[in-house]
Structure 1
């Protein structure tokens, strides 16, 4: 039997930069002029919520009624995804790498490696609220809830859980080759950040001009223009714009001191590890409560 450990996961909590990373990789690796727009990223990467793969794995249209139905078919769907290309390929996921119903949500036998993209929770919360079409307090509550699950209307799930648990289980997965990218670093210095991913992790000799073109083509402004012109198929129902701000530091205007305090208290150990530079300022804001 052929080795199906072909999937390189592009894993993240929603609104952490996954679409940007997929676009960057597509524009870098695909021939000049052939890279897909934001609505056709599946030409280069795919995702683990693809209805067509679940239908094929189910032997007919998949209409799940809950997590158990989803997991009953997910393993077969992922095998089809892994086998859909002959070599290593990128697959987007928002799921945690955990076991439920005695099955791996992220099966090691289909996994080659992972790129994990994270974004600080203070900036993530306003974007996640827009993504969930809910207010900020409810978005923060969901980010702090270990049982948070989202899904498609047909019952294909994203097993999110808490923001900090999501980071912990991915970055601590035993035996998993993983490269962590902070959204803020990608925003501040995309060239250096992508070089680190391409050269150090993917072992690809970087073509400087090609990387520069990929970065220019996938700037936030360019992707926002695409959404305004073409729409964006992955935009959740009720969300007015998927590409809204794309900045770091928006939490200073968007969050109240009480909201900053709640996020800080909930996620402090993870912030200490991944965002130590934010501790002083967020601590001062939280102290105003």
Structure 2
């Protein structure tokens, strides 16, 4: 499950968890007590999708190393080997979250993510102007910083040289670099989903997601899973459960808006032009309208 941050990755993972719950897949090996607890989606329960691939604990376990002994450059060269010693995807299908670009300047041509045994990647994308607004609320950054981040060729998450964090550095580069790195690689199949299409055609788009991930795709299951993971429902659950575990300090709500078009409402005309001029080619390729065209 690959995406630039704040593009709909978590929404898709919650949908996968709910679809699996409705189909009885989450509780296939659960205890009777655990099955009783699964009568409805628990937002702060473990999302049934596997670890984020930048998890330090997961990487250390998969690679058999202490990743804090390595620099980011050294680590990027070996991260793609996770799962080589034990088949990462063999026991059952897992759906790992990824914010990294497919390759980094330090990994060279080698992917940062494990591809051996991987059946494919879902690439979730969102208009960069809307991403900027969402990043602003998530990180408590001013919009100008978010726009600059999207345009930064060295942009990444957890870039500090202090290596004790729970996640390792995730290189992304510019928004366009990130998208190109996934769409243009030829090592694993991809399914591209646009956030805007998930909002406009949830039944169709989430059915495509289920089919690609080899999950049950009966229309009635998709309909119920879509209903149970609508933004209104997730907002209510976040409030009822006292927050969401993936919400950072300072962020009022994780499931904040669930709308498209906020970038055009909140960014300045100059900021919109900056993004559209820098990313015109990939925006057009991915069916986004360029202002004035």
Q: CA separation in 1, counterparts of 2:50 and 2:40?
A: 11
Q: CA separation in 2, counterparts of 1:179 and 1:113?
A: 8
Q: Deviation of residue 95 (structure 1)?
A: 0.6
Q: CA separation in 2, counterparts of 1:163 and 1:70?
A: 23
- Structure 1 residue runs of 5 or longer lacking an equivalent are 1-9, 285-289
Quote the residue 2:45 is aligned against.
40
1:22 equivalent to 2:13? Answer yes
Q: CA separation in 1, counterparts of 2:223 and 2:157?
A: 35
Written as runs of structure 1 = structure 2, the 5 A alignment for 1:14-93 is 14-31=5-22, 33=38, 36-57=41-62, 63=68, 66-68=71-73, 70-71=75-76, 74-75=79-80, 77=82, 83=88, 86-93=91-98
1:69-127, CA deviations, whole angstroms, 9 ceiling, x for partnerless residues?
54366346555896376032211100111153454302332422011100011111100
1:184 equivalent to 2:193? Answer no
| Partners of 1:223 and 1:243 within 8 A in 2 | yes
| Partners of 2:56 and 2:167 within 8 A in 1 | no
| Partners of 2:126 and 2:194 within 8 A in 1 | yes
- Number of aligned residues: 271
Quote the residue 1:111 is aligned against.
118
2:150 maps to which of 143, 149, 153: 143
What SS does the corresponding residue of 1:39 show, helix, strand or coil? coil
- Structure 2 residue runs of 5 or longer lacking an equivalent are 25-37, 159-163
Structure with greater strand percent: 1
Q: Deviation of residue 259 (structure 1)?
A: 1.0
Q: CA separation in 2, counterparts of 1:37 and 1:120?
A: 29
| Partners of 1:132 and 1:139 within 8 A in 2 | no
After superposition, the Cα gap between the structure-2 partners of 1:177 and 1:136, relative to the gap in structure 1 and judged at 3 Å, is: same
What SS does the corresponding residue of 1:92 show, helix, strand or coil? coil
Q: Deviation of residue 257 (structure 1)?
A: 0.7
What SS does the corresponding residue of 1:180 show, helix, strand or coil? strand
- TM-score under structure 2 length normalisation: 0.81
Quote the residue 1:94 is aligned against.
99
Quote the residue 1:7 is aligned against.
none
| Partners of 1:18 and 1:117 within 8 A in 2 | yes
Q: CA separation in 2, counterparts of 1:109 and 1:86?
A: 14
After superposition, the Cα gap between the structure-2 partners of 1:154 and 1:202, relative to the gap in structure 1 and judged at 3 Å, is: closer
After superposition, the Cα gap between the structure-2 partners of 1:81 and 1:37, relative to the gap in structure 1 and judged at 3 Å, is: farther
Q: CA separation in 1, counterparts of 2:234 and 2:76?
A: 33
- Farther off after superposition, 11-20 or 224-233: 224-233
After superposition, the Cα gap between the structure-2 partners of 1:164 and 1:89, relative to the gap in structure 1 and judged at 3 Å, is: same
What SS does the corresponding residue of 2:120 show, helix, strand or coil? strand
1:224-254, CA deviations, whole angstroms, 9 ceiling, x for partnerless residues?
2222232212123332222111101112321
1:116-170, CA deviations, whole angstroms, 9 ceiling, x for partnerless residues?
1000111111001222321111111111112101128345122221111111110
What SS does the corresponding residue of 1:115 show, helix, strand or coil? strand
- Farther off after superposition, 209-218 or 69-78: 69-78
- Farther off after superposition, 181-190 or 40-49: 40-49
